[in-house]
Structure 1
Amino acid sequence: MITFISGGARSGKSSYAEKLALETYHQNLNNTSINNKLYYIATAERSDGEMKDRINRHVHERSNLWDTLEAPMNLSTLLENLHNQDVLLIDCLTLWLNNMMYKKQADLTQLIEEVTSWIDISIRKQLNLFIVSNDLNEGMLVKDYFTHQYMYALENVHHFLISECDAAYQVIAGIPIQWKEGE
């Protein structure tokens, strides 16, 4: 199952995604034929001392049920190496897209191909994938070319993911709104 969760900064989207992922993990544990793991896939890079401290704080705030893996760009490779029916939360798509566009110079076609790969791998391996992203396209118009390109790419990746996922939520002030029903 693939679930997309978006929201503004500090909206509660990551907490809600963690809740959904934990519920799925515990449901799978009740089924004795499933021996899955629970992963938190962090796309942030430890670029400076402040970011290192922030990442370490987030790791320590989560329970020890979570295995944290850092994957700023190569998520398909990481997904291929996980076991069938594992539960994973990617946090967040926004940083991953930034890394891909500005470090790998990936264009929209390459971004969609990579996300398609995540979906294909998740379906084939029956992964329970929760993808967190930021709502950035609800503010004022941006005149800067690079920011405009980034926002355009993020909007298109969001549209694509929502069309392909099983469920989609938007979190506003800690309240989840379900826009697409799980199947």
Structure 2
Amino acid sequence: MIYYITGGERSGKSSYAQKLAENLTTTPYYLATSRIWDKDFSIRVERHKAERNEYWNTIEEEKFISKVIPVNEVIVIDCVTLWLTNLYIDFDNNVEKALEFAKNEIEAISKINSKIIIISNEIGMGVHAQTHIARKFTELQGWVNQFIAKKASEATFLVSGIPIKLK
């Protein structure tokens, strides 16, 4: 089962996903998809870790996320945007290759017998991207979000910390 949680940056997605996971199990998994790009981001990662109690199991995987998801568990994947950034860079900004890879991974995830909470960002609702590369990434993000939303049993949009049930 896939729970899809989306919204803008700092909208409360991670906190909402964490509470959902903790309501579903006492021993949730957290799948971190990010690469540590700089010191600020490292601090952000450490803050996220501190927000989770000792009952959380952490898995780190930047690309092949379907390969590391345990069966019959509750897993929070945080987040699609950072994962797509990795793919977009690894595929030399080729949207088609990154999209195909992402769809295949999401398809594989949808077949795993676990409760999977996927966090993503709605980046296309903000300021229009100024560069070609950024505009293409926004398109990639939007198409992947749509694909995940179709696969999800439940979808929630967060605005200012308030969850709005989409599906």
Distance 1:121 1:56 in 2: 27
Contact kept, 8 Å, 2:29 with 2:74, in 1: the verdict is yes
Q: 1:171 aligns with which of 134, 158, 163?
A: 158
Is residue 120 from structure 1 mapped to residue 87 from structure 2 by the alignment?
Answer: no
Instruction: Return 51-60 or 110-119, whichever deviates more.
Output: 110-119
Render the CA deviation track for 1:6-49: whole Å, top value 9, x for unaligned.
111111111111111111114xxxxxxxxxx5111111212333
SS in 2 for 1:132: strand
* Equivalence for 1:31: none
Structure 2: tracts of 5 or more residues without a match:
none
Contact kept, 8 Å, 2:110 with 2:151, in 1: the verdict is no
Is residue 13 from structure 1 mapped to residue 10 from structure 2 by the alignment?
Answer: no
Render the CA deviation track for 1:122-168: whole Å, top value 9, x for unaligned.
43x31110010111111233341101100001100111111111110
Instruction: Return 152-161 or 70-79, whichever deviates more.
Output: 70-79
Q: 2:61 aligns with which of 67, 71, 79?
A: 71
In the TM superposition, residue 110 of structure 1 has moved relative to its aligned partner by 4.3
Q: 1:145 aligns with which of 119, 123, 132?
A: 132
Distance 2:10 2:25 in 1: 24
Between Structure 1 and Structure 2, how many residues are aligned?
166
Distance 1:113 1:100 in 2: 8
Structure 1: tracts of 5 or more residues without a match:
27-36
SS in 1 for 2:156: strand
Q: Percent identity?
A: 33
Matches within 5 A, 1:65-104: 65-79=55-69, 82=70, 84-104=71-91
Letter in 1 for 2:48: H
TM-score, structure 1 length as denominator?
0.82
Distance 2:103 2:56 in 1: 23
Render the CA deviation track for 1:87-140: whole Å, top value 9, x for unaligned.
1001110111011001233533543443443343443x3111001011111123
Contact kept, 8 Å, 1:21 with 1:88, in 2: the verdict is yes
Contact kept, 8 Å, 1:122 with 1:128, in 2: the verdict is no
Distance 1:38 1:121 in 2: 17
Distance 1:135 1:114 in 2: 17
Quick check: which has more Rg, 1 or 2?
1
* Equivalence for 1:38: 28
In the TM superposition, residue 85 of structure 1 has moved relative to its aligned partner by 1.1
Render the CA deviation track for 1:51-96: whole Å, top value 9, x for unaligned.
22321222122111111111122212212xx2x2111001110111
Distance 1:127 1:12 in 2: 23
Alignment CA distance shift 1:55-1:139 (3 Å):
closer
Contact kept, 8 Å, 1:44 with 1:95, in 2: the verdict is yes
